[in-house]
Structure 1
Amino acid sequence: LELSVYSDSIKMDLFFVFHDEEYDWVGGMIVYKKQKLRWIYPRIDKLCVGDLYGHLFHVPCNVEQVLEV
């Protein structure tokens, strides 16, 4: 599930992560084909805080493992 939020001229896309027995996943869709997609990620058990140019964000603590996928 993706949710796009607009504030003035800023757009933020929020993606919801779903948990399965073995992995986490994010769903998507190719709209014109009505084809569902699923991106699979390693289990995200814990969130940490990351600093990006002075702004704090919640990120997976196992960020390297997630980025390798």
Structure 2
Amino acid sequence: MIGVSMETAEFIFKQAELSVGNIDDLCDLWGRSLEDGSMGKHPPYVNHKELYATIDATPQGDIPWSSFKL
């Protein structure tokens, strides 16, 4: 079973295909909504950089992730 943070990453990145700005806006709104009544809780990601770092660090088989530019 995958956790909420991975489900959130899959939804934001794969299903909704949100832009960087929209990801940051969503994380900000989510974080502010938790400040008012959920002491000590925080959203799965602070911003798009944290989301992308999690996606990049996710193992997929035994071949490490790599990228290149053309």
Same fold (TM over 0.5): no
Higher relative contact order (CA 8 A, sep 6+): 2
Which structure dedicates a bigger proportion of its chain to strand? 1
TM-score (norm 2): 0.25
